[in-house]
Structure 1
Amino acid sequence: MSMQLVHDQMPLPLLMINTKFDTLQYTPEASKVFDVTECFLDMVDEGSKSKVEKWIQPKQGKSKLEINIYGKSSDVVLTEVYVRWMNDLHAEVILYPKEKQNEHITTMLDKLQNRLNDTNFALLEEKEKVEDTLKENYRLSAPFIQLTKDIAFVPLFGDVSEEKLHTIKEQVLAKAHDHHSNRILFDFTAVGELSAEGFRVLNEVFKTLDFMGKEIVLIGVKPKHSMKINEFKVQLNIQFLHSLQTAIYRYCSR
């Protein structure tokens, strides 16, 4: 019985065999990958023949098994075999080389990696936008307001973290230099939590301002912050006032 090459639409190696394992038809894909022979068993490695004879039978109906089949270059190819009996005499056998699966998985992973790279780039752009927005919010949480020629006012808002204070530090020191203010009022009335790292940066700000010859006045300091801030007072010339009204009356009403 001669084999017949058929141009099936299936983009995988496919054979049609009978109950004697004669190869009746095969697709071009099958001949590209495997050494197609007139007897399907001749394509199968010796160690897998008993599995084929047991499981590729009409009584098994649809079946799936993994066997070794000789490839086009006489190499042994680990192959997944899908069998569908069309009737009691003929079966369609799809041969799916595991290497093909690996190539498919690799291709999928490459595509996924490319998508992840694109996503990461987009996320990086969004992250930069968020960071810029966050920095702007930090700047707005401690605006530098020139009350008079000699006096500047810096109200602090919300929790004061190290990151926020680094942003505030740049702004305050730059404007203190540009505006030549001799006295700077820091209002702590609306401050929430002050982290230990935040205190460290705050101390750097005060030390730099003191070095620049600025007088530092702290307003509305809460009891939970006063002990920590008092540590600065030992080394620096810092004044404490109870409220903004007191500061305005003392420094701006003259």
Structure 2
Amino acid sequence: MLDGRHLPLPFFKLDKKFRILERSLAAGKLFAEKESFLDLADEDSRRKAEKVLSSGKNDSELVLRTLQSPLALFKLNINTDNEFLYLILTEQNSKMEMLVQQVELHRRRLAETDLQLLAKKEEAEDAYRKIIELSCPFIMLTKKTALLPLYGDLTEELVSANAGRLLNLLQETCAEQVTIDFHGVGSITETGMKALANLVKEFTLMGASTCFASLNPVQAKQVYSSHTTLDATYVSSLSSALETYLL
């Protein structure tokens, strides 16, 4: 009878509970000494190893832990009798390398996709910032008079996103009169009105007077119900404001 220990390939003799009864010298050089063959499989492959050994299916592939590598791919040839299982393992180095390369390629593609998504996110954020700025432009009508037409809903976010830019422009232009036109405004939130009131206070501290123009009855009621103290004058329309401050 051939002594399995001298086979030139990794060989194992197992009992029906997959305990290692005998192994070849080649297997001893490749694998750590374990009581059960299942202990040679990595955690993710252990259940598959048990299924393969139970079925006795030949040419199955398993990822096993060797002394040189925590992930090595082997093809199994299995023979069985009433008492034992006989395994011969063939290492699939090239196939494992190909799988590793595929995983690495997939990782790189994911990284590239993440960068592309990040770039698109930054583009979207830039576009959003431009929309916010367009919702609150600062237009110099004369050397001392500026027009600030508002568009969209007057919210705290709208005012806060533009406050720094508007204050810088006011300082750069040395404008003394700012007309805030409400003709393009939708709804007015209470927090938005309070944020605008704080901005008007900043205008006043910087030496600029503020005028509110084109408030419709609903907006006027919203401004009044916000209980916000405003250091501003009111005119019924933008044309009235222009007549007052430009002529």
Give the TM bin, normalised by the shorter chain.
0.5 to 0.7
226-235 or 205-214, which deviates more: 226-235
Do the aligned partners of 2:197 and 2:228 also contact (CA within 8 Å) in 1?
no
Q: Per-residue displacement from partner, 1:215-237 (whole Å, max 9, x unpaired)?
A: 11111123343244347886342
Distance in 2 (alpha carbons) for counterparts of 1:234 and 1:140: 26
Residue 163 (str. 1) matches residue 157 (str. 2): yes
1:244 paired with 2:238, answer: yes
Output one character per residue of 1:56-110: Cα deviation in whole Å (capped at 9) or x when no partner.
xxxxxxxxxxxxx9765353145253999xxxxxx9712322548x958998777
Pair 1:44 & 2:9 matched: no
Contact 1:153–1:187 under 8 Å retained in 2: yes
Hey, what's the Cα distance between the residues in 2 that align with 1:127 and 1:159?
24
Is the 1:157–1:190 contact (alpha carbons within 8 Å) kept by the matching residues of 2? yes
Note closer, same or farther for the CA distance 1:248–1:125 as it changes in structure 2 (3 Å cut).
Answer: same
User: Paired residue for 1:139?
Assistant: 133
Which residue matches 1:61? none
Query: SS of 2:17's equivalent?
Result: helix
Unaligned segments of structure 1, at least 5 residues: 4-25, 37-41, 50-68, 85-90
Matched positions, count: 197
Q: Quick one: percent identity of the two aligned structures?
A: 23
Q: Which aligned pairs between 1:118-197 and structure 2 lie closer than 5 A?
A: 118-197=112-191
Q: After superposition, what is the alpha-carbon deviation per residue over 1:16-68, rounded to whole angstroms, capped at 9, x for unaligned?
A: xxxxxxxxxx9x9xx3xxx32xxxxx63343159xxxxxxxxxxxxxxxxxxx
**Residues 99 and 106 of structure 1: CA distance in aligned 2, closer, same or farther (over 3 Å):** farther
Distance 2:172 2:113 in 1: 42
Q: Corresponding residue for 1:199?
A: 193
When normalised by structure 2's length, the TM-score is 0.62
- The one-character-per-residue Cα deviations of 1:160-204 (angstroms, maximum 9, x if unpaired) are 343332332122211211222211000011112334443343222
> Counterpart of 1:96?
61
Matched residues in 2 for 1:147 and 1:107: separation? 64
Aligned partner of 2:215 among 217, 221, 228: 221
Post-superposition shift, 1:153? 0.6
For 1:110 and 1:226, locate their aligned partners in 2 and report how far apart those are by CA, in whole Å.
Answer: 63
The question of whether the paired residues in 1 share the 8 Å contact of 2:197 and 2:230 is answered with no
Contact 1:82–1:93 (CA under 8 A) maintained in structure 2: no
CA 234–199 in structure 1, closer or farther in 2 if over 3 Å, else same: closer
CA positional deviation for 1:138: 1.7
Q: Match for residue 212 of structure 1?
A: 206
Which amino acid is the alignment partner of residue 43 of structure 1?
A: K
The alignment's TM-score, normalised by the length of structure 1, stands at: 0.61
Q: What 5-or-longer segments of structure 2 have no aligned partner? A: 42-48, 72-95
Deviation, structure 1 residue 120:
2.3
Contact map agreement 1:161 1:197 (CA 8 A) in 2: yes
The alignment partner of 1:43 has SS state of: strand
| CA gap 1:115/1:82 in 2 versus in 1, 3 angstroms | farther
Structure 1 residues 106 and 230: CA distance shift in structure 2, 3 A? farther
Any idea what SS the aligned residue of 2:215 has? coil
| Closer, same or farther: CA 123–194 of 1 in aligned 2, 3 Å | farther
Distance 1:113 1:167, change over 3 A: same
